């Protein structure tokens, strides 16, 4: 599923384009897309689609994208024509981009035609998709001239305007488009930062529905939330471990352990609010540093910049406060003390175990005056004291929010609804600004876990195998009304005359059965060894593989900045024909060399077989010798041969005045 930050950046780039160019220049002139293999074979031989190039969609297009069981058309259905009718170019409809909405999992585009009819387009970013807005020249001279298998990305759908082409680029065409005349029929999950009250209402409804199912809710909470389509929209494989770390939660807590605790639930919601606010307020300024026009362009070292915003995912170490470090040490001590027990119940008492929670990680939420979750997290009395010591407004003390109302209506035993916080550690809320490096007082190693085939990075250790969640009673089944007809009366048995049958004693009514108490069996979690962990680090992936990592700066459709003799050059796609053969060869050789470095075999050098393979790839690239980039004074492969070196005149003069012994050393 798409992540919150990536979806936000794609929407903000579309919005930046909308606000930066004249409105009259945003009329759609053509729709472009890459064909699937099946579609390519159905196009006429020699056509752009059959050759693997991006092609324009006609009004009778039947191309579909999305999940196999619910695919939707690329071309807007309201503007399409039947195969037997004349084609109508889309430019005749005057379809103009007039609005862009952000969404945790989608990009919402608003178009208006010449008749003032509105056409909404929901771009569902199913997997590894990014928006880029190419200048028309770069689109025509680079992207359009490279085969889809060679350029490094595929075009899900592109909107051609007068001067720019807004393209949604994917790794494998896993993308979906929903066209609709009204906004209400499209995605409606709330953005946690823009609509926090509605987000909390959705969480409350989801928790209530889950509590009514016939289950002890022993599944892994993180996996459940990540795969849910109802709550935490935009929380994916790397966002969820980040939120768990910010909320102070162990990676293998069950659904009941998290959502039966008001404090844990509130911390998780507050963590997402903080994460989303950081993205909304600080992410776009970072992205703008790497814009060339309206195209995101980075070099290799820039790909790691987004990871600096992360706490644990793919990181070797995580910077934490002294309070976090001490709480972590306390938790590890509890695990060590109970390591000899055959089975112990995860129940919080005066000695723990306590959650490793640092309020600094959810500061934005704790400073919110409108809907503050602090009283749920710390308890009303302790939260009021913390607010006073931190100088927060009186409005922050209020507990008027959907989450607080819901938990107030429940009758949970204290042992199940505990806060899991060692309140004695929270004598202050935030660190003083004068305290230098307070947020980086310690840097513990991260750990990599695997659960349900998903990687989970965490500093907080998982609960050990000899522990189990608190036993919970299975909720009773609701009574059902029996509408079947009553059974017929039993046949009367006739005995011998003169004998009376002994009447049986009436049976007592059956006693109601008590709900069985179940000891939950959590989803198994596996701690990966150090070698697997090392190969999964973000730095390792970027340096030694051609895989992509996480974040909006490291996607398949991101342009690359490469070093040139007269300055940096932009490679808008792999095989960009406007770059000289030298640069394509250098890039291919660097990729092959990185693979050797990952194995520690760089001293062996590239084999003749590998070099020959690189040359075959380079020869396939059709370099455009007439392009502007070729006309620049850039080195060619012939000019890069090693030159003979001669000793400088200054060095010769130096040798003359030295002793014979030193002269021999220099020579």
Sorted by sequence, the CB contacts under 8 Å of residue 572 that are 6+ apart come out as: 134, 138, 142, 143, 295, 559
Q: What is the model's pLDDT at position 106?
A: 96
Identify the band that residue 563 occupies on the pLDDT scale cut at 50, 70 and 90: confident
3-state helix, strand, coil in the chain (%, to 5): 35, 15, 45
Question: Which tens digits make up the pLDDT trace of 203-252?
Answer: 999 999 999 886 778 999 999 999 998 999 999 999 999 999 999 999 99
Q: What is the model's pLDDT at position 151?
A: 92
d(CA 278, CA 502): 83
The verdict on 178 and 297 lying in the same domain is: no
Q: What is the model's pLDDT at position 417?
A: 86
Q: Which two tokens stand for residue 23?
A: 């409105």
The verdict on 295 and 377 lying in the same domain is: yes
| Planar angle of CA 258, 260, 265, nearest 5 degrees | 50
Q: What is the model's pLDDT at position 156?
A: 97
Among 185, 214, 241, give the residue marking a domain's end.
185
Task: Please check whether residue 204 lies inside any domain of the structure.
Answer: yes
Long-range pairs for 622-631: beta carbons < 8 A, 24 or more residues apart: 622/145, 622/577, 623/577, 623/579, 623/580, 623/581, 623/584, 624/141, 624/145, 624/577, 624/578, 627/141, 627/577, 627/578, 628/578, 629/569, 629/578, 629/579, 629/580, 630/578, 630/579, 630/580
Identify the band that residue 198 occupies on the pLDDT scale cut at 50, 70 and 90: very high
The verdict on 141 and 235 lying in the same domain is: no
| Planar angle of CA 258, 261, 265, nearest 5 degrees | 60
> Region 184-196: what's the mean pLDDT?
95
The verdict on 157 and 204 lying in the same domain is: no
Domain range spanning residue 82?
A: 4-185
Sorted by sequence, the CB contacts under 8 Å of residue 328 that are 6+ apart come out as: 320, 356, 444, 459, 460
Identify the band that residue 139 occupies on the pLDDT scale cut at 50, 70 and 90: very high
Task: Please check whether residue 263 lies inside any domain of the structure.
Answer: yes
The verdict on 289 and 429 lying in the same domain is: yes
Q: What is the model's pLDDT at position 653?
A: 37
Q: What is the model's pLDDT at position 510?
A: 61
Question: Which tens digits make up the pLDDT trace of 144-189?
Answer: 999 999 999 999 999 999 999 999 999 999 999 999 999 999 998 9
Task: Please check whether residue 602 lies inside any domain of the structure.
Answer: no
Q: Is the pLDDT of residue 662 over 60?
A: no
Q: Is the pLDDT of residue 373 over 60?
A: yes
Say which residue, 579 or 159, is predicted with more confidence: 159
Task: Please check whether residue 113 lies inside any domain of the structure.
Answer: yes
Task: Please check whether residue 271 lies inside any domain of the structure.
Answer: yes
The number of domains in the chain is: 2
> Region 649-660: what's the mean pLDDT?
40
The verdict on 242 and 110 lying in the same domain is: no
Identify the band that residue 521 occupies on the pLDDT scale cut at 50, 70 and 90: confident
Burial string for 577-586 (b: 16+ CB within 10 Å, else e) reads bbbbbbbbbb
Backbone angles phi, psi at 324, to 5 degrees: -60, -45
d(CA 580, CA 566): 13
Q: Which of 230-239, 248-257, 655-664 has the lowest mean pLDDT?
A: 655-664
The verdict on 124 and 173 lying in the same domain is: yes
Say which residue, 47 or 587, is predicted with more confidence: 47
Q: Does an H or E element contain 165, and which? A: strand 164-170
Identify the band that residue 663 occupies on the pLDDT scale cut at 50, 70 and 90: very low
Q: What is the model's pLDDT at position 489?
A: 62
The verdict on 53 and 146 lying in the same domain is: yes
Q: Are 572 and 142 in contact (CB under 8 A)?
A: yes
Q: Is the pLDDT of residue 661 over 50?
A: no
> Region 494-506: what's the mean pLDDT?
55
Task: Please check whether residue 270 lies inside any domain of the structure.
Answer: yes
Closest CA to 35 of 13, 58, 14: 58
The verdict on 180 and 208 lying in the same domain is: no
Q: Is the pLDDT of residue 511 over 70?
A: no
Q: Is the pLDDT of residue 592 over 50?
A: yes
Q: Is the pLDDT of residue 451 over 90?
A: yes
Say which residue, 319 or 655, is predicted with more confidence: 319
Tell me the pLDDT of the chain averaged across its residues. Answer: 87
Task: Please check whether residue 581 lies inside any domain of the structure.
Answer: no
Task: Please check whether residue 404 lies inside any domain of the structure.
Answer: yes
The verdict on 181 and 293 lying in the same domain is: no
The verdict on 9 and 152 lying in the same domain is: yes
Q: Is the pLDDT of residue 346 over 90?
A: yes
Residue 402, SS3? helix
Q: Is the pLDDT of residue 256 over 90?
A: yes
Q: Which of 3-12, 154-163, 410-419, 607-616 has the lowest mean pLDDT?
A: 607-616
Q: What is the model's pLDDT at position 273?
A: 98
The verdict on 440 and 411 lying in the same domain is: yes
Q: Is 450 exposed, middle or buried (0-12, 13-18, 19+ CB in 10 A)?
A: middle
Identify the band that residue 581 occupies on the pLDDT scale cut at 50, 70 and 90: confident
Q: Is the pLDDT of residue 25 over 90?
A: yes
Question: Which tens digits make up the pLDDT trace of 162-174?
Answer: 999 999 999 999 9
Percent of the chain with pLDDT over 70: 84
d(CA 242, CA 448): 13
Say which residue, 661 or 35, is predicted with more confidence: 35
Among 439, 458, 477, give the residue marking a domain's end.
458
Among 185, 218, 235, give the residue marking a domain's end.
185
Q: Is 413 exposed, middle or buried (0-12, 13-18, 19+ CB in 10 A)?
A: exposed
Say which residue, 636 or 180, is predicted with more confidence: 180
Q: Which of 57-61, 319-323, 432-436, 619-623 has the lowest mean pLDDT?
A: 619-623
Percent of the chain with pLDDT over 90: 68
């Amino acid at each position: 599923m798409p992540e919150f930050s990536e979806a936000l950046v794609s929407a903000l780039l579309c919005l930046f384009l909308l606000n930066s160019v004249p409105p009259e220049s945003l009329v759609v002139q053509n729709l472009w897309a890459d064909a699937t293999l099946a579609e390519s074979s159905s196009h006429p031989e020699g056509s752009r689609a059959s050759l693997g190039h991006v092609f324009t969609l006609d009004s009778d297009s039947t191309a579909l994208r999305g999940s196999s069981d619910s695919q939707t058309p690329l071309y807007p259905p309201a503007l399409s024509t039947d195969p037997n009718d004349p084609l109508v170019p889309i430019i005749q409809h005057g379809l103009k981009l007039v609005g862009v909405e952000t969404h945790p999992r989608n990009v919402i585009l608003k178009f208006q035609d010449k008749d003032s009819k509105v056409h909404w387009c929901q771009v569902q970013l199913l997997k590894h998709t990014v928006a880029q807005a190419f200048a028309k020249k770069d689109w025509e001279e680079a992207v359009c001239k490279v085969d889809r298998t060679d350029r490094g990305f595929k075009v899900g759908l592109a909107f051609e305007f007068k001067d720019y082409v807004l393209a949604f680029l994917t790794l494998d065409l896993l993308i979906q488009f929903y066209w609709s005349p009204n906004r209400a029929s499209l995605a409606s999950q709330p953005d946690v930062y823009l609509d926090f009250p509605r987000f909390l209402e959705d969480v409350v409804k989801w928790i209530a529905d889950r509590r009514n199912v016939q289950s002890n809710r022993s599944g892994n909470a993180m996996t459940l939330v990540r795969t849910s389509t109802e709550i935490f929209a935009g929380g994916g494989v790397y966002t969820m471990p980040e939120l768990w770390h910010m909320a102070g939660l162990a990676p293998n807590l069950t659904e009941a352990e998290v959502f039966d605790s008001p404090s844990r639930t509130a911390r998780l919601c507050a963590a997402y609010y903080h994460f989303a606010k950081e993205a909304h307020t600080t992410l776009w300024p970072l992205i703008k540093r790497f814009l060339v026009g309206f195209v995101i362009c980075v070099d290799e070292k820039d790909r790691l910049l987004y990871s600096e915003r992360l706490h644990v995912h793919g990181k070797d170490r995580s910077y934490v406060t002294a309070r976090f470090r001490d709480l972590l040490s306390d938790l590890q001590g509890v695990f060590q003390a109970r390591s000899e027990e055959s089975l112990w119940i995860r129940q919080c008492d005066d000695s723990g175990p306590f959650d490793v929670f640092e309020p600094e990680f959810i500061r934005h939420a704790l400073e919110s005056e409108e809907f503050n979750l602090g009283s749920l997290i710390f308890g009303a009395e302790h939260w009021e004291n913390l607010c006073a010591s931190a100088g927060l407004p009186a409005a922050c003390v209020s507990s008027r929010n959907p989450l607080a109302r819901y938990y107030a209506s429940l009758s949970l035993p204290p042992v199940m609804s505990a806060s899991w916080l060692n309140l004695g550690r929270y004598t202050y809320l935030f660190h003083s600004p004068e305290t230098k490096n307070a947020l980086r007082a310690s840097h513990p190693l991260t750990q990599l876990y695997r659960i349900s085939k998903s990687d989970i990075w965490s500093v907080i250790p998982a609960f050990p195998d000899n522990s189990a969640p608190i036993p919970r009673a299975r909720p009773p089944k609701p009574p059902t009304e029996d509408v079947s007809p009553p059974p017929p009366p039993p046949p009367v048995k006739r005995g011998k005359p003169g004998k009376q049958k002994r009447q049986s004693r009436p049976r007592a009514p059956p006693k109601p059965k008590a709900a069985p108490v179940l000891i939950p069996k959590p989803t198994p979690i596996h701690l990966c060894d150090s070698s697997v962990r090392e190969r999964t680090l973000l730095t390792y992936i970027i340096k030694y593989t051609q895989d992509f990592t996480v974040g909006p700066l490291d996607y398949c459709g991101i342009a690359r900045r490469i070093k040139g003799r007269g300055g940096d050059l932009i490679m808008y796609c792999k095989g960009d024909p406007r770059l000289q053969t030298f640069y394509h060869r250098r890039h291919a050789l660097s990729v092959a060399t990185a693979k050797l470095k990952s194995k520690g075999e760089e001293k062996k050098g590239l084999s003749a077989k590998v070099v020959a393979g690189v040359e075959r790839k380079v020869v396939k690239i059709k370099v455009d010798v007439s392009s502007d980039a070729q006309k620049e004074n850039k080195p060619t492969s012939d000019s890069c041969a090693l030159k003979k070196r001669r000793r400088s005149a200054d060095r010769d003069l130096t040798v003359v005045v030295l002793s014979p012994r030193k002269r021999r050393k220099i020579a």
